[in-house]
Structure 1
Amino acid sequence: MSTGTSSGPGRPPRIRHNDYGVLTPPEPGTWRPSLSVSVVIAAYGHQDKLDLTLAALAAQSYPSHLTEVIVVDDGTQPALRLPEIAPENTVLLATEPGARGRSDARNAGLARAGGDVVHWLDADMVTFHDEVEEHMRWHHLADHLVVMGYVRYVEHRAGTPTPREVHAAVSAGAADKLFDEERSEPHAWIVDLAERTDGLRTAGDSAYRVHVTNAASVNARLLREAGPLDTSLVLGEDTELGYRLAQAGAAFVLAPGARSRHLGLSMMMRDKDRIRRYNHAYVPGLVPYMRWQRTHPRRQWQVPYAEVVVEAAGASYEDVRATADGVLAGTLNDVVVTLAGPWDAAREDRRNPLDSTHLDLLLLRGLYRGEPRVRFVTSVPATAAPVPYRLTCPPGWVPGAETLRRLVEHASKHGHGLVSVALDEGEDAVLAARLEHTGAFARAALVREPGEPLDVAVHDVSGTHWMDGASLGFLPAAMAEPAKRGRTDDPALTRELTRLREENARLTETLAARGDGGAPAPAERVIPRPRGRWFRTSGR
């Protein structure tokens, strides 16, 4: 299958996974831009560095009438000021005394920004002459991009260079002459990621990590849909926002031509071990893709890795319970179960409780009222964001201990945007469960044409796949063993039992297919249908 789908006339580009190679930006200086950009700078102290940052921005090749610069002073005493050399459309804001920190400052700038694109920039950066243009030439090609520029960290002594020297050098396209380039350092981990993933094109779900707010740009509509920055985080807030941008459908582009120089080493370079120690306590709970940090077998996390939706309306208490309990007993503990139904209408008759309307819903609410991994909704939200995977499972079908883990791992490994799981067949439909990748469906919704089924667009941008439910361990409630304490206490033992069952099923199929007088074919197994409604596979 091809790695990308090219666009027809007027058709939005379809970037498959993160392979932005289907986009061909124009060469700088050869095109006519139309989108506006808001450069948002959070600043605290260091008036001298801010002066150099604004002097460089005043010498950009991108049209000044399409550019605004918003500087947010995060409580500097004495307050920062706008220098003599600055872009034409530059404003200076200040954060409120009770709202301080980089996230609050950037959010204040975002609230003021009026551009089609928001370009994050630190207050100690010297941008090259076409840095903004290099970002914007990508954004004109698609409306769901995050673009990361190329930053090098240079030594800096106060007073050298001066704002006038910076402005003159950047205007002349000679910003690299201002610093000792041989002693500069890049974002080493971004360079390493780029080398391992063909410039991020094969990075898959790890591409979000390049959203670093010292030199990144984001489509403003996409940013407002996913954002703003999480003010509960003091560090790591740009990584967490990058993850949410991915769940909103973003594709991440590395733009080495968008060059800038950071005046001095970054905080991470100066204090890497202590920052990592801090971030590892705060960030993994909000970013499910950080699987290497979520190794505890029983921990609950603020944002789970998967959501399982079960339609409780019209289904029996027993069927819904069997499905929900099967999910909760699985080895993928990082999960939430969403039960959908008319909960507001389920009222208990206090004199004759057995005659209550919607009795089965009342029983479910009573059973799971103390379970933090079960939530009740009257309607299922259109997206699972920020949860990356959503499984919709018919009530009365029970996943085995390893089923959900194996299903999600398969989708993640192969990058499938949709995995449909065949459970049973009716006369005119297949009963199926659906595992949807949140980011893939968000991307598909952005690029699909009027009247086009969403699943078709998902197939283009991420791929679709069918699997057999029995081989994954799905069983009807009538055949499944109820979840009991201790049954899944040992994940290693559970995986070994699953492996043996799969091997036994494979050998049984081999013997049945021989047809040469070997062991007789096993009798056809009759699977009773669960009580409840049929789910068609027409998608959405």
Structure 2
Amino acid sequence: MSQPLIRRNEWRALPTRELGAWTPTLSVSVVIPTWNAESTLPLVLAGLAAQTYPAHLVEVVVVDDGNPTPVTLPEVRPDNTRIVRVTEGWGRANACHTGALASDGDVIQWLDADMLTFREHLEAQLRWHHEIDYAVVLGTKRFVDPAPLAGRSAGDIKSAVASDEIATTWDWDAEETHKWVEGMWRRTDDLTLAGPRAFRAHVGATGSLTRELYDTSGGMATSLRLGEDMELGHRLAEAGGVLIPEHASRAWHLGRTHVMEHRDQINRYNDAFLANLVPTMRPKRNRRGRRYDVPFLEVVLDSRGRGADEVIGVVDAVLDSSLDDLRVVVLGEFDALTDARQSPLGDPQLEERIVHRTYAGDQRVELLDSLPPGRCRSAWRLTLDDVANAPTADAIEALLDDLEQHHDGAAVIDGVGRLERTAAVERVRRAHTDVTDERLQAAYGMIRLTARDAGWVQRSERDVPRYEGKLKRPLDR
């Protein structure tokens, strides 16, 4: 697919399709996870039955997440609506993933079971997916008291959505907004100035993405009970996505959310889970000492053909960095090491063996024959091309902080290697097969530095502190 390369999150460079003035071709699966939503689900399905997006391209998958009373479908609903029941696991993330796996559409549209959509809701989001396959589109909503709908039939609600009467049932400008998310939209000109931080605003009550992007990202983290939308947002960014707020995709949220009622408790709960999985949530992470499942930086060094002392000198310097939220991957012929009898000093694999034994017990070092397929697991990857230079203690952290501040995507360090933002590399791959410096520059921006300017010195000049090994006399008390 030939498609434009969007710089950072500057999605306004895309052409605009006017609502109702284009020909839809993509099918969409609306996935609705349900838990105790028997009072609002009929209204949600009635609103979806009145959408302007062609009905033959819409399927609705209602996911019964083990409700005490099994979900049944009301009479008023989109034609292609079915129920999928969760058989393993529980929670919103698991229910959404179950629905996604059971659905067939080119695009997956998440919709909570208390969202009464306006008639252009789906169409407004789907037009972006006809432009690029890496769009992640968010609808907008207002939180309202559902009391004015009491006594109205589902058929009446469908007619109200179709005629746009539902848009005036409440005052859009006066009702409660999603303050944190829409506040970020305002501060960053609808996320176009947010750069790599845009996906912090990813919420799941109403949003859509292509099935391919969902699969590439790895899908919902089904073990999470809360915060799954923010964690998925991080991985969508790492997969090259661009986050687009769509103000024409409107809905009434019938009642306030669980998060709004228990914000402090939920934030406390989420901090323990999300900080471990989302490296870009750096303010939630300890500056020194902690280890996380997904480090902020991955450093790669191929040890093959190099002396053990050279490799150890560079790896030790990296591990001694002021930024210790990192993982080092050392590549070598480690799988070929055996315990066969031989002279230790005459071992033809002596260098690999010394490197392997040096780091086999270090939790921040992986010893691999090759990198695993797919994108980098961390937000950044530093690939070292040489072992002549080593970083000073503050070099890596200072360079990353500078790149983060300017939203750049890569840095080339002469005589050292390349530092690349995973999201930037994957964005380029979305539009082009090959990742080149010119395309990285176009996607996010990049800089070129000398080793000295980047804070790297000759390996012999980098002294990694060690304990003194001299025999010490006892001190008097």
Does 1:473 find its partner at 2:431? no
1:165 CA displacement: 2.1
Which residue among 468, 471, 482 is the counterpart of 2:464? 482
Distance in structure 1 (CA, Å) of the matches to 2:115 and 2:331: 50
Structure 2 match to 1:537: none
1:434 CA displacement: 0.4
Does 1:144 find its partner at 2:128? no
Distance in structure 2 (CA, Å) of the matches to 1:160 and 1:326: 70
Higher relative contact order, chain-length normalized (CA < 8 Å, sep 6+)? 2
| CA gap 1:77/1:408 in 2 versus in 1, 3 angstroms | same
Deviations 1:345-384 (CA, angstroms, capped at 9, x unpaired): 1224434222333211111111111110000111124555
One-letter amino acid of the counterpart of residue 150, structure 1: T
3-state SS in 1 of match to 2:82: strand
| CA gap 1:476/1:346 in 2 versus in 1, 3 angstroms | farther
Structure 2 match to 1:373: 364
1:301 CA displacement: 1.2
Does 1:153 find its partner at 2:143? yes
3-state SS in 2 of match to 1:289: coil
Distance in structure 2 (CA, Å) of the matches to 1:467 and 1:160: 68
Structure 2 match to 1:499: none
Output the TM-score relative to the length of structure 1.
0.83
Give the stretch that moved more between structures: 456-465 or 87-96.
456-465
Give the stretch that moved more between structures: 340-349 or 436-445.
340-349
- After superposition, where does 1:520-535 map in structure 2 within 5 Å? none
| CA gap 1:453/1:287 in 2 versus in 1, 3 angstroms | closer
Structure 2 match to 1:224: 215
3-state SS in 2 of match to 1:283: helix
Q: Conserved in 2, the CA contact under 8 Å of 1:47 and 1:80?
A: yes
Question: Which structure 1 residue ranges, 4+ long, deviate > 4 Å from structure 2?
Answer: 180-183
Does 1:35 find its partner at 2:17? no
Q: Percent identity?
A: 35
Does 1:434 find its partner at 2:418? yes
- The alignment of Structure 1 onto Structure 2 pairs a total of residues equal to 466
Does 1:235 find its partner at 2:235? no
The alignment yields a C-alpha RMSD, in angstroms, of: 1.7
Q: Conserved in 2, the CA contact under 8 Å of 1:154 and 1:181?
A: no
Which residue among 388, 399, 418 is the counterpart of 2:391? 399
Q: Conserved in 2, the CA contact under 8 Å of 1:346 and 1:357?
A: no
One-letter amino acid of the counterpart of residue 395, structure 1: V
Q: Conserved in 1, the CA contact under 8 Å of 2:375 and 2:426?
A: no
Distance in structure 1 (CA, Å) of the matches to 2:83 and 2:18: 33
Structure 1 match to 2:123: 133
Distance in structure 2 (CA, Å) of the matches to 1:22 and 1:193: 20
| CA gap 1:482/1:292 in 2 versus in 1, 3 angstroms | closer
Q: Conserved in 2, the CA contact under 8 Å of 1:39 and 1:119?
A: yes
Q: Conserved in 2, the CA contact under 8 Å of 1:322 and 1:396?
A: no
Distance in structure 2 (CA, Å) of the matches to 1:453 and 1:37: 31
3-state SS in 1 of match to 2:461: coil
Distance in structure 2 (CA, Å) of the matches to 1:232 and 1:45: 21
Q: Conserved in 2, the CA contact under 8 Å of 1:58 and 1:87?
A: yes
1:182 CA displacement: 6.2
| CA gap 1:58/1:239 in 2 versus in 1, 3 angstroms | same
Which residue among 48, 51, 71 is the counterpart of 2:62? 71
Does 1:104 find its partner at 2:87? no
3-state SS in 2 of match to 1:254: strand
- After superposition, where does 1:3-42 map in structure 2 within 5 Å? 11-42=2-33
Deviations 1:211-266 (CA, angstroms, capped at 9, x unpaired): 21110111210111102111221110110000000000001101011001111001
Distance in structure 1 (CA, Å) of the matches to 2:75 and 2:387: 67
3-state SS in 2 of match to 1:38: strand
| CA gap 1:108/1:11 in 2 versus in 1, 3 angstroms | closer
3-state SS in 2 of match to 1:472: coil
Does 1:120 find its partner at 2:110? yes
3-state SS in 2 of match to 1:146: strand
3-state SS in 2 of match to 1:440: helix
Which residue among 244, 254, 260 is the counterpart of 2:245? 254
- After superposition, where does 1:39-438 map in structure 2 within 5 Å? 39-96=30-87, 98-157=88-147, 159-179=150-170, 181=172, 184-381=175-372, 383-393=374-384, 394-423=386-415, 432-438=416-422
Q: Conserved in 1, the CA contact under 8 Å of 2:323 and 2:394?
A: yes
1:173 CA displacement: 1.8
Q: Conserved in 2, the CA contact under 8 Å of 1:330 and 1:403?
A: yes
Q: Conserved in 2, the CA contact under 8 Å of 1:384 and 1:390?
A: no
3-state SS in 2 of match to 1:72: strand
Distance in structure 1 (CA, Å) of the matches to 2:257 and 2:355: 52
| CA gap 1:441/1:182 in 2 versus in 1, 3 angstroms | closer
Output the TM-score relative to the length of structure 2.
0.94
3-state SS in 1 of match to 2:101: helix
3-state SS in 1 of match to 2:70: coil
Give the stretch that moved more between structures: 242-251 or 148-157.
148-157
| CA gap 1:389/1:482 in 2 versus in 1, 3 angstroms | same
One-letter amino acid of the counterpart of residue 29, structure 1: G
